[in-house]
Structure 1
Amino acid sequence: MASDMSPTVRPDPTPPGQDRLSKAVRHKRIIAQLAASPTLRASELAVMLNVSGETIRRDLLDLHEQGLINRTYGGASRPFALEAARSDRRRVMIAEREAIAAAVSAMILPKEVLMLGGGATTYHVARFLAARNHDITVITHDFASAIALGTNSSIRVLCCAGRLHPGEGYVIGAQTIASINGYEANRAIVGATGIGARGIYDADDEAGAIYGAMIQRAAEAIVVADHSKFDQPAVAVCARWPAIDRLVTDRAPTGALAGALREAGTELIVAGP
């Protein structure tokens, strides 16, 4: 009697009449889902994409190896944002950052005292303040911003003490925070590595502490960030949205981030080119 040696045929998980999604499309949808929700379960993704659990596990492994997601037990999460070198950051999003800087410059009145954090976007703010504003005082821990502001003789520049961060060109540490705590300001203007529904983040915990201190010492807090920072968490939380008065950006956010801004009462200013 001959035994039946025919292979086992597994059913196709794709419903009749529905095309199976390509790997590239599945990957795009997984990343899009993580933009809306910080964590996802593999089982939920398998149902959403109409594929087997084995297929979704391979997809998550591929995306993890590309650095686009973090694999977790049973699913995936967004990767934490990392800060590129400052020289590299200065070469991207120039038009968007200049539009943001111009919008901030237009808000500032003579005799105001500002605190200005370090970073690529805030450097553009310093340039526009130097070109368009007068009779203001700016407290900063960032050397490049201090030099840019110093080209305008009507701007008084106060530099914070602290330990030099050679790669970023600013000072950090306990002395820097002590310097900030010795002042009061009308406005704090800070950037961020990333922004999300919970608040603003920085990849450097010491820099994040400085931005948080600036926000606490100012009557108004302004965050400047282009749209590439949306839904990008990083290791250090600088401030939650209720502590932020205005977000100046180049594109209106959507989803959970937009909802968080509305709930916190943070004013959204979208700067045109």
Structure 2
Amino acid sequence: MVSIPVTSDSDQLAVRKSRRPDGDRLSKSARHQHIISQLTAAPTLRASELAAVLGVSTETIRRDLMELQEQKLINRTYGGASRPFALEPSLVDRKRLLIVEREAIAAAIAELIQPNEVLMLGAGATTFHVARRLAATARDITVIVNDFAIAGALATNGSIRILCCPGRYHATEGYVFGTQTIASINSYEANRAIVGATGVGARGINDADEEAGAVYGAMVKRAAEAIIVADHSKFEQRALTVFAQWSEIDRFVTDRPPEGALATAVREAGTELIVAPC
């Protein structure tokens, strides 16, 4: 468990602004918002510490936690709360989030790529930004993809050869998956695999969709170098399937340095950390 002081001036201002005009206590909706916000920064929270910070009784906090769990926004634990397993927003929504951070990650990836390389590029919002940057800067490369939007982004560069994997089409995510997709990936060799994730944690790299995770895991295994691209919002997020361990990953490209157990796992695995300046 970790303590949860209001850690910044902006957090303090948000708490002050949320107080009822007729008293010092926060409204229920403001307390709920604060709890969810804190769980984005720390994986677990103590009910007693939440009560002290928010100026309410532990009984009030327990009721708040019960309601948030019923809404599937948190998991209640003995004495507090933890993050629920990550459920990814829709692809359309993800493409609107953290654009500056993802473009910085994409720029860092583009600097690594040399002419005549063969890449495997997984589906997703961050890898879509990578594809757009590669289309603007790369020359004479081959890219193996399982995502039609990524293929379209790369196709604006006539010097990029695009190989599309077959498979079952995921209508809402725009990628293909399944046994045909993995068989196709296993028929290739690549210089680098570049894949995203729902979450990155000390226990490995995970995805909310087991079918997507199986494709990314296959890409990681078929490339001479495996690269994970994930912004800071993915740190310590847990999801359904772990598709790779840090020992399998050569580079981790992100927008902020990880801390704690995640930082230790990356360092001990010998994975190169690249922090892209935003």
Bucket of the pairwise TM-score, normalised by the shorter protein: 0.7 to 0.9
Q: Say whether 1:137 aligns with 2:142.
A: yes
Per the alignment, in what secondary structure is the counterpart of residue 107 of structure 1? coil
Q: Which residue of 2 aligns with 1:79?
A: 84
Q: Which residue of 1 aligns with 2:12?
A: none
Separation (CA, whole Å) in 2 of partners of 1:34 and 1:154 = 41
Q: 1:185 pairs with 182, 185, 190, which one?
A: 190
Given that residues 50 and 61 in structure 2 are in contact (C-alpha distance below 8 angstroms), is that contact kept between their aligned partners in structure 1? no
Q: 2:251 pairs with 246, 250, 254, which one?
A: 246
Given that residues 47 and 62 in structure 2 are in contact (C-alpha distance below 8 angstroms), is that contact kept between their aligned partners in structure 1? no
Equivalence map 1:192-207=2 (5 Å): 192-207=197-212
Q: Which residue of 2 aligns with 1:117?
A: 122
Name the aligned partner's letter for residue 215 of structure 1: V
Given that residues 208 and 239 in structure 2 are in contact (C-alpha distance below 8 angstroms), is that contact kept between their aligned partners in structure 1? yes
Q: 2:62 pairs with 18, 33, 57, which one?
A: 57
Q: Say whether 1:106 aligns with 2:111.
A: yes
Separation (CA, whole Å) in 2 of partners of 1:194 and 1:108 = 25
Normalised by the length of structure 1, the TM-score is: 0.82
RMSD of aligned Cα (Å): 2.5
State the shift of 1:139 in Å.
Answer: 0.5
Q: Deviations over 1:213-243 (max 9, x none)?
A: 0001111111111111111111111211111
Name the aligned partner's letter for residue 208 of structure 2: A
Given that residues 43 and 236 in structure 2 are in contact (C-alpha distance below 8 angstroms), is that contact kept between their aligned partners in structure 1? no
Name the aligned partner's letter for residue 133 of structure 1: A
Separation (CA, whole Å) in 1 of partners of 2:37 and 2:63 = 14
State the shift of 1:27 in Å.
Answer: 8.1
Separation (CA, whole Å) in 2 of partners of 1:30 and 1:171 = 33
Instruction: Write out the 4+ residue segments of structure 1 that deviate beyond 6 Å after TM superposition.
Output: 21-27, 50-53
Separation (CA, whole Å) in 2 of partners of 1:48 and 1:151 = 51
Separation (CA, whole Å) in 2 of partners of 1:197 and 1:255 = 9
Q: 2:101 pairs with 93, 96, 115, which one?
A: 96
Per the alignment, in what secondary structure is the counterpart of residue 238 of structure 1? strand
Separation (CA, whole Å) in 2 of partners of 1:158 and 1:26 = 47
Separation (CA, whole Å) in 1 of partners of 2:60 and 2:248 = 43
Q: Per the alignment, do residues 258 and 22 of structure 1 end up closer, same or farther by CA in structure 2, a change over 3 Å counting?
A: farther
State the shift of 1:56 in Å.
Answer: 4.8
Name the aligned partner's letter for residue 149 of structure 1: L
Q: Say whether 1:162 aligns with 2:167.
A: yes
Q: 1:227 pairs with 220, 232, 244, which one?
A: 232
State the shift of 1:168 in Å.
Answer: 0.8
Which structure would you say has the larger Rg?
A: 1
Name the aligned partner's letter for residue 198 of structure 1: R
Given that residues 39 and 82 in structure 2 are in contact (C-alpha distance below 8 angstroms), is that contact kept between their aligned partners in structure 1? no
Equivalenced residues, count: 249
Gaps of 5+ in 1: 1-20
Q: Per the alignment, do residues 199 and 145 of structure 1 end up closer, same or farther by CA in structure 2, a change over 3 Å counting?
A: same
Q: Per the alignment, do residues 193 and 30 of structure 1 end up closer, same or farther by CA in structure 2, a change over 3 Å counting?
A: closer
Decide which moves more: 53-62 or 255-264: 53-62
Q: Deviations over 1:141-165 (max 9, x none)?
A: 0111111112212111111010000
Given that residues 146 and 157 in structure 1 are in contact (C-alpha distance below 8 angstroms), is that contact kept between their aligned partners in structure 2? yes
Equivalence map 1:205-216=2 (5 Å): 205-216=210-221
Given that residues 47 and 79 in structure 2 are in contact (C-alpha distance below 8 angstroms), is that contact kept between their aligned partners in structure 1? no
State the shift of 1:121 in Å.
Answer: 0.7
Separation (CA, whole Å) in 2 of partners of 1:167 and 1:48 = 38
Q: Per the alignment, do residues 32 and 264 of structure 1 end up closer, same or farther by CA in structure 2, a change over 3 Å counting?
A: farther
State the shift of 1:196 in Å.
Answer: 1.4
